[in-house]
Amino acid sequence: MGLREDYLKKFEGKTYFWLGDEACAYGGVFGGCNFFTGYPITPASEVAEVISGELPNVGGYHVQMEDEIASIAALIGGVWAGARGMTATSGPGFSLMQENIGYAIMTETPCVIVDVQRSGPSTGQATKPAQGDVMQARWGTHGDHNIIALAPNSVQECFDLMIRCFNLSEEYRTPVILLMDGEIGHLRERITVPSLKSIKLKKRKKGKKKDLLFGGELIPPFKEIGDGHYLHVTGSTHKENGIRDVESQKVHEKLVTRLYDKIEKNREKLVDLEEKWMDDAKIAVISYGAAARPTEGAVALLRKKRKKIGFMRLRTIWPFPREQVRALGKKVKKIYVPEMNLGQLSREIERFVDCPVVGIPKIGGIVHTIREITTAMERS
């Protein structure tokens, strides 16, 4: 057994009362993370505090960089040098990272970025939760691109989805975002660590000399620094061998379309959602992350009053479960969307359904209560 397995086995099968941030850090370590770069920011700092203590135990490295730009830059550099790496931040830091998230997309660098969303814009309510980065996660970096973003709604899912984030980043050779929120990040809850054997880690597919680093197939294999390939990696538009070509329309179109397609064409494999009470539903409620907790409670309460309401929770936010939502829109008369912003996902839902979509927004740093959701539903 290796150093990592040797150390991690003490957690197997045990139940803890962890913070969401803490579970996220351990999910990273169990997901194979051996490199973390970050910069302190509420409410994400606990991820760094926990993982900085654990990475040395599994042969990994933590470095606190001078800012979030440097954090993601060092992360990407480390991955090209062989790391399986992550960073964690919140809104302001996530904004600073956007340019280099684009670099990671363009250079097809597998890595995981945790965004523990807080109330904004700007410094906002620094210590309080929100879900205001749904669209920033999708469109924050400039240019045409696609992204994978997962949203946990419990401490257990912070752990479980981190492992999926790492696996997806390797499978699709792309940055993956864990779109947490400060409510879940700072929530303590019961969590059970699964056995190491039950966790399947997607290994990095490494290319041989003849393999193209940026083409030849939808998801080309990765090559690392030091393998003797004289890699040329650039955020500029490049040919399949990595050499810059910023003049050709065709080269750009081919590259950026492939980067888009590798997620688009696998949308159905990436979609991950939970449905409850949908069989007889005339009305549906869609939510995600922390807001999905009181939402599910509200729907459960209304079901007890014999209301025909169904519940859908998105674990994968991006790519958006377009087909599932489209089908739901045909089945129900109305869709409610409680979220901790002024209506980011609800607008995305509107794009795919004909029935009315009613947002139940809540901002100001506090998640909805069950009563607020049922009241809003009774009102409209």
Partner 1 sequence: MMAKKKKAYRLKHYLREELLPTTFCQGCGCGTVLNTYAQAIEELQINPKDIVSVTGIGCSSWIPSPYFKADTLHTTHGRAIAFATGVKIMKPEANVVVIAGDGDLAGIGGNHLIHAARRNVGLAVFLINNMIYGMTGGQVSPMTPLGDKTTTTPYGNPEYPFNIAEFVAAAGANYVARWTTYHVFPLMESIQKAMTKDGFSFVEILTQCPVSYGRRVGMRTGEEFLKYFKENTINSLKAKDMTPEEIGDKIIVGKIVERNRKEFTTILREMNEERRK
Partner 2 sequence: MNVRFCGFGGQGIVMAGYITGSAAVRDGKKATQTQSYGSESRGGACKSDVAISEEEIYELESEEVDLLVAMSQQAYERYIKTLRKGGILAFDEDLVTPKKTAHKLYKIKATDLAHKKFGREIVANMIMLGYITSISGFVSKDSMIQTILDNVPKGTEKMNEDAFELGHRLGSKVK
CB of 15 to partner 1, least distance (A): 26
Is the distance from CB of 162 to CB of 194 less than 8 angstroms? Answer: no
DSSP state of 187: -
CB count within 10 Å of CB 372 equals: 16
Q: Does 342 bind partner 1 (CB under 8 A)?
A: no
Is the distance from CB of 7 to CB of 53 less than 8 angstroms? Answer: no
CB of 260 to partner 2, least distance (A): 36
CB of 313 to partner 2, least distance (A): 12
Q: Which residues bind partner 2 (CB under 8 A)?
A: 15-17, 42-43, 126-127, 183, 186-190, 290, 293-294, 296-298, 300, 366-367, 369-371
DSSP state of 274: E
CB of 80 to partner 1, least distance (A): 6
Contacts of 263-270 spanning 24+ positions with Cβ under 8 A: 263/146, 263/147, 263/148, 263/172, 263/174, 263/319, 264/146, 264/319, 265/218, 266/172, 267/319, 267/322, 267/323, 268/323, 270/148, 270/168, 270/316, 270/319
d(CA 151, CA 26): 17
Is the distance from CB of 234 to CB of 245 less than 8 angstroms? Answer: no
d(CA 277, CA 269): 23
Q: Does 216 bind partner 1 (CB under 8 A)?
A: no
Q: Report what 42 binds from partner 1, partner 2, none; CB cut-off 5-8 Å by kind.
A: partner 2
Phi, psi of 63, rounded to the nearest 5 degrees: -135, 130
CB of 70 to partner 1, least distance (A): 4
Among 66, 247, 279, 280, binds partner 1 (CB under 8 A): 66
Among 123, 236, 369, 375, binds partner 1 (CB under 8 A): 236
Q: Report what 371 binds from partner 1, partner 2, none; CB cut-off 5-8 Å by kind.
A: partner 2
d(CA 126, CA 116): 11
Q: Report what 99 binds from partner 1, partner 2, none; CB cut-off 5-8 Å by kind.
A: partner 1
CB of 137 to partner 2, least distance (A): 22
User: Which two tokens mark 377?
Assistant: 């539903």
Q: Report what 187 binds from partner 2, partner 1, none; CB cut-off 5-8 Å by kind.
A: partner 2
Q: Which stretch binds partner 1 (CB under 8 A): 149-157, 225-233, 293-301, 347-355?
A: 225-233
CA distances from residue 142 to 82, 85, 119, 246, 362 in whole angstroms, order as listed: 27, 23, 23, 17, 28
Give me the DSSP letters along 285-301.
EEE-GGGHHHHHHHHHH
Nearest CB to partner 2, comparing residues 223 and 362: 362
Q: Does 226 bind partner 1 (CB under 8 A)?
A: yes
**x-marked contacts with partner 1 along 8-37 as a string, rule CB under 8 A:** ---------------------------x-x
* Contacts with partner 1, residue ranges (CB under 8 A): 3, 35, 37, 55-57, 59, 61, 63, 65-67, 69-71, 73-83, 85, 99-100, 103, 225-226, 228-236, 243-244
